[in-house]
Amino acid sequence: MAAALESPLAEVADWLRQSRSTVVLTGAGISTESGIPDFRGPNGLWTRNPGAEKAATLQNYLADREVRVRAWRSRVEHGLWTEAEPNGGHLAIAALERKGRLDLLITQNIDSLHLKAGNSLERMVEIHGNLREYVCMQCGDRGPIERVLERVRAGEDDPPCRRCGGILKSATISFGQNLVAADYARSEAAAARCELFLAIGTSLTVYPVAYLPEVALRNGARLVIINAQETPYDGLAHALIREQIGQVLPRIVAAV
């Protein structure tokens, strides 16, 4: 089947078959075909509304009650994140895991579409957190975000933590908020030992995650980039694919 693929798709399929350790990093670009806009693309959320990026900072969220009120109201009123379904790109990466060809999936996305597609949490790092859960910024209490959304629908516009009274937030990593150290350490270790690193739908400009391809390259891995826009790593990639992720990735994985 691989022979029917044109280069470089056939080459990437060969590399996936040969690799004893493959790491996949995904960004917002893999979810645009599921109806979730990216952030920095031509029609991205922050490209069209630069003020939205500022509002996504942790400092503003903690300091300004109105920012929190708008955030919770938005989550109740807009079902975009919960109604979206995985596309062919997500399903292909889940198939890669089922085939035993995925060491670790690192995703910058908070939409849980990889989980819906069938990837396991055991082989996944949600490096920027997720929207499935809430977290208290004071005591660390954590649980399904639907519990908080029910309180918002019942009339609480900025629900406090029921355990300590602290500020609640979605379990996502905001600007100005540190990554979970153990998550990044696990991601970096996987990048350092992998033989093949696939960067899919990510601009590779958000640090420290954008260091991971460099870690992989430094340790002798091949780098494959599948992304609509240019990235700082394009000149270092062993294969560079500009085709639509939801169409090209299933073809590659089917040949593995």
90-105 confidence digits (pLDDT tens)? 999 999 999 999 999 9
User: Percent of the chain, pLDDT > 90?
Assistant: 81
**Are 3 and 27 contained in the same domain?**
yes
> Could you tell me the CATH number of the domain that includes residue 52?
3.30.1600.10
Residues 213 and 100 in one domain: yes
Lowest-pLDDT choice from 73-82, 177-186, 195-204: 73-82
For residues 65 and 11, membership in a common domain is answered with no
Confidence of residue 81 (pLDDT cuts 50, 70, 90): low
Q: What percent of the chain lies above the pLDDT cut of 70?
A: 89
Q: Are residues 192 and 235 in the same domain?
A: yes
Q: How confident is the model at residue 41 (pLDDT cuts 50, 70, 90)?
A: low
Is residue 233 a contact partner of residue 206, using CB atoms and an 8 Å limit?
A: no
Domain end residue (candidates: 117, 141, 172): 172
* 3, pLDDT greater than 50: no
What is the structure's pLDDT at 37?
A: 75
pLDDT of residue 176: 87
Distance, first Cα to last Cα, the chain: 8
Most confident of the following: 3-12, 72-81, 173-182: 173-182
Query: Any catalytic annotation for residue 128?
Result: yes
Q: Which of 78, 90, 114, 128 is catalytic?
A: 128
State yes or no: pLDDT of 47 exceeds 60.
no
Show which of 148, 172, 196 is a domain's final residue.
Answer: 172
- Evaluate if residue 126 carries a pLDDT over 80: yes
Q: Are residues 143 and 228 in the same domain?
A: no
- The answer to whether residues 62 and 165 belong to one domain is yes
Q: What does the pLDDT read at residue 53?
A: 60
Identify whether residues 64 and 159 lie together within a single domain: yes
Q: How far apart are CA 149 and CA 151, in angstroms?
A: 5
175 — pLDDT class (breaks 50, 70, 90): confident
Instruction: Provide the pLDDT confidence category of residue 80 given band limits of 50, 70 and 90.
Output: low
Do residues 79 and 135 share a domain? yes
- The answer on pLDDT for 117 being more than 60 is yes
Q: Which range (4-18, 72-86, 102-116, 224-238) has the least confidence?
A: 72-86
Domain boundaries, position 107: 1-36+85-128+179-256
Strand-pairing partners, residue 24, are 105, 198
Question: Which pair of tokens denotes residue 69?
Answer: 């009120």
pLDDT of the residue at 74:
85
pLDDT of 1 = 36
Q: What is the mean pLDDT of the chain?
A: 91
Count of domains observed in the chain? 2
Residues 122 and 144 placed together within one structural domain of the fold: no
| Region of poorest pLDDT, from 3-7, 57-61, 117-121 | 3-7
Any idea what the CATH number is for the domain that residue 24 is in?
Answer: 3.40.50.1220
Q: Which of 145, 172, 199 is a domain's end point?
A: 172
Q: Are residues 242 and 137 in the same domain?
A: no
Does 9 lie in the same domain as 59? no
Q: Are residues 136 and 254 in the same domain?
A: no
